[in-house]
Amino acid sequence: MKNNLRLLTLISMMIALSYMLMFFEFPIPALFPAYLKIDPSDIPSLFIGIFVGPVPAIIVELIKNLLHGIFSPKDPNFSGEIANFFYGLGFILPVSIFAWLLRNRFKQWTTSKALLRFLPSFILGTILATIVMGFVNYYFAFPLYGMTDHAVKIAGIISVTPFNLFKGTLITIAAFTLYTPLKTLFTRYFK
């Protein structure tokens, strides 16, 4: 019972942190169009996915995007939130499933050396999220913006694909940087 309450508290804190981090979005105008913005809001759900499991990570991603869509709608018809949710799923699921497999196989899976084992799952997550975003943009996000012509949608996907790869790379660098300090926090939280 105590661990269930801790898990619920942790999920709630990660939802609140992710929601707040969505407001720290910034464009990279030298590389990408101004409407493409990077925010660090996927990092809390990534870490809860690594240390707790994929299902809490999905819950954090879902509720974060619902809250953002309800309380601060910027994009038409939740198109940005839909895109953010599916990008988060595509990126976080391979990493969190890999962490779950490591946790079940090794006792000392949270060491800093073990972090290098995660690198292929981060690369897979970046590639999978980019592929997922191609489909999401083509079938959902672009039509919600009024882009219905096939050639325009393909051009949009070609312009957004490098951005998604860049975002995955930034999240990977942030995760590798924050892993050691957050590892002690998460492992102490569930002792």
Q: Which tens digit of pLDDT belongs to each residue from 24-64? A: 988 888 888 888 889 999 999 999 999 888 999 999 999 99
122's CB contacts (< 8 A; 6+ apart) are: 95, 168, 172, 175
What structural domains does the chain harbor?
2-21+39-189 (1.10.1760.20)
pTM for this structure?
A: 0.89
Token digits of residue 73: 């709608």
Band (100; pLDDT cuts 50, 70, 90): confident
Residue 64 tokens, joined: 């974060």
pLDDT of 114 > 90? The answer is: no
Pairing verdict, β 37-38 and 26-27: antiparallel
Q: How far apart are CA 74 and CA 79, in angstroms?
A: 9
DSSP states of 123-188: HHHHHHHHHHHHHHIIIIIHHHTT---HHHHHHHHHHHHHHHHHHHHHHHHHHHHHHHHHHHHHHH
Average pLDDT, integer, range 116-139? 91
pLDDT at 162: 92
Rounded-to-integer distance, Cα 71 and Cα 88, Å:
20
pLDDT digits (tens, 9 = 90+) for 143-162: 887 777 877 788 778 888 99
pLDDT level of residue 190 (50, 70, 90 thresholds): low
pLDDT at 1: 45
Six-digit token pair at 171? 């999240």
